[in-house]
Structure 1
Amino acid sequence: MTRKAIYPGTFDPFTNGHLDVLERALNIFDHVEVVLAENSQKQTLFSVDERLEMVHEVVREFSNVSVDVLHAGLLADYARQAGASAIVRGVRQVKDFEYEFQMSLLNRHLYPEVTTVFLMPNVKYTYVASTIIREVSMLGGDVSKFVHPFVLDKLNAKRAEREGQS
């Protein structure tokens, strides 16, 4: 029996911290599906299609990783339909855990067969958040140590596009 997990997130953009958590999950599960959440409550820098392209590029070397988009609906329902036994969540700090713990209890209520697995990234990524990466990059800062080169190119292009509009 294949042990499958889903790794959901907005991934705006997908950082090396996300990649680190994914690689840790692959040490536990046979297959991990990265699920991009199309969250209408979040203001994203990149469209779903742009984020999908970036994640595909970053994970293309992994034969046991797939990528999909959750356009609407509950994550627990998606996990059930995908045949996942686990939901992988990265936690960097206590604040992350408090929110994720609440979500895991709700998901367990909605889909009792799923287990939420909390994974901590390498300590060098504990302060790396997509929000910070976006802000620093849009202000011209160097984020090359925190994202894949393809993602860096997309961030630089987005900054150039915004600078051209102002």
Structure 2
Amino acid sequence: MTRVVCPGSFDPVTLGHVDVFRRAAALFDEVLVAVGVNATKSATRWFDSDERMAMLREAVADLPNVRVVGFTGLLVDFCVEQDAAAVVKGLRSSTDYEFEQPMANMNAHLQGIDTVFLACDPQWSFVSSSLVKEVLSFGGDVSAFVTPRVLEQLRSRHAERTAS
């Protein structure tokens, strides 16, 4: 069985993420969507890890070979613990590649874990969790980029954040 890990913070999960999970699920026997803690994003985080994992589980409920799990520490150590053959990362642009390539090289150096890059579907090439939150914050319509349930949670969280 070939198991891979799709790591990220997913704050929130977008349809671009789901597209990568779906495509990875067609290529590999099992996909672990691994929700990690990214300290550089903590100031902009809207949802805690339990909330993000719940949104992810709902978003991938129709994919029987995809599991959502949390992890802390080094991604490569998690991959070894889970007997994962590789990390799968979606790429929107060359900027994403430039950001991801050094991490891929480090993961290979530390534990021999390869990284598989999947070019995103062009319809999602400009979509990021951060941009979705920003557009929503200014009253923009982000319904085309997230599931209905995620949209509901985004609106609710935005209302909470602006009320305080």
TM-score with structure 2 length normalisation? 0.95
Does 2:29 align with 1:30? yes
Per-residue CA deviations over 1:11-36 (Å, capped at 9, x if unaligned) read 01100000111111112101100000
CA distance in 1, matches of 2:95, 2:162: 34
User: 2:98 maps to which residue?
Assistant: 98
Which AA in structure 2 matches 1:12?
D
The percentage of counterpart residues that share the same residue type is 41
Q: CA deviation at 1:62?
A: 1.4
Partner of 1:68: 69
- The answer as to whether partners of 1:138 and 1:155 remain within 8 angstroms in 2 is no
> What residue in structure 2 maps to residue 137 of structure 1?
136
Distance in 1 (CA, whole Å) between partners of 2:36 and 2:137 is 22
Residue of structure 1 in register with 2:12 after alignment: 13
Structure 2 Cα separation of the partners of residues 121 and 95 of structure 1? 13
1:162 deviates by 2.0
In structure 1, the partner of 2:147 is: 148
- Separation (CA, whole Å) in 1 of partners of 2:99 and 2:131: 19
Hey, what does 1:50 align to over in structure 2? 51
- Give the paired residue count: 162
- Using the TM superposition, give the Cα deviation of residue 164 of structure 1 relative to its aligned residue in structure 2, in angstroms: 2.2
SS of 2:27's partner is coil
Corresponding letter in the other structure for 2:126: Y
Bigger helix share: 2
- Contact 2:3 2:86 (C-alpha < 8 Å) held by counterparts: yes
Specify the code of the residue in structure 2 equivalent to 1:91. L
What residue number does 2:158 align with?
159
Whole-Å Cα distance in 2 between the matches of residues 126 and 135 of structure 1? 17
- 1:150 & 1:46 partners in 2: Cα distance? 14
CA distance in 1, matches of 2:37, 2:139: 27
1:110 & 1:78 partners in 2: Cα distance? 12
Deviation of 1:101 after TM superposition, in Å, equals 0.8
Looking at structure 1, the residues matched to 55 and 8 of structure 2 have their Cα atoms a distance apart, in angstroms, of 13
